[in-house]
Amino acid sequence: MDADAGRRVPIEPQKVDAPLTRSSIFLILSVADGDAATEAVRDGLGSVSDLTKNVAFRDLGASLAITVGIGSRVWERIMGAPGPRELHPFRVVAGAVHTAVATPGDLLFHIRSDRYDLCFEFERQLLDTLGDSVTVADETVGFRYFDTRDLLGFVDGTANPVGPAVPASTLVGDEDPAFAGGSYVVAQKYLHDTAAWASLTTEQQEAIIGRRKADNTELDDAVSGQKSHKTLSTIEDDEGEHDILRDNMPFGTPGSGAFGTYFIGYSRHLWVTERMLERMFIGDPPGLHDRLLDFSTPVVGCTFFAPTAGMLDALGG
């Protein structure tokens, strides 16, 4: 037997493909400076699997799943080695009318369950563990809305890969062997102008989205001129179509008039999601941006890498 076999970190992906749940928390944290904060975060990340088991045991049928992403600013500091090839800070995409903004954030915790109280309890225990080594950059609570619709009234996530296409689209492979089994994550938070959207006819809304509202049937792609959101967010080249896995969730507080969608995309190649955002914000051809952006404004933009579960466990003190 290879003498190093016992020290190898197993290639076990995190649950980026966890089933859709009824509740989620998207938690983005910034890591404080200093060695003490670094060690506290390393120990905290190493204990995520134990924290998850501790909370999930309260209801094993509630599908609690946690995905952890680490940003480029702190990757080498926490992991002790250079990061994945494509990992870099979120790139601002400035179109003629709309801009995909970049915002601070070093750690992402995508917390999912069919019970919100389990999401809440995991976050509470996690933040107790991390203490003052982190500050909260953004915290958003998502919920499933009817038959997986967004707050604009359309079914969300139907373009996701299925079956064997899921790992092929989401998990790094032999192209970056040191990080095989990991996944790039882009997180964005969009606020919707629901009043302006509601002023459109159903036919106008469908033309912007590229699908029928009632039954989610795809509309034909435009051959030229203004393209729909569906078309602009589809990435194709000589190798075929490149998918990402979305686990978007609506969020909102009617009392304050805040309504939105939290976009989270997992991909094998970061450039796929970045090209999608370029097509949306700059347009294809340039100048014909995604008209959905006339009603949806991004207020958060961060990029992370979700390492394998084994890499996280190995951080424990």
Residue with tokens 């795809």: 218
- As a whole number of Å, the CA-based R_g of the chain is 20
Of the candidates 158, 136, 129, the one whose C-alpha atom is nearest the C-alpha of residue 40 is 129
Q: Which residue of the set 150, 156, 243, 247 is catalytic? A: 156
Task: Respond yes or no: is residue 284 known to be catalytic.
Answer: no
Backbone angles phi, psi at 30, to 5 degrees: -105, 135
- For residue 215, the SS3 value is coil
- Residues marked as catalytic: 156
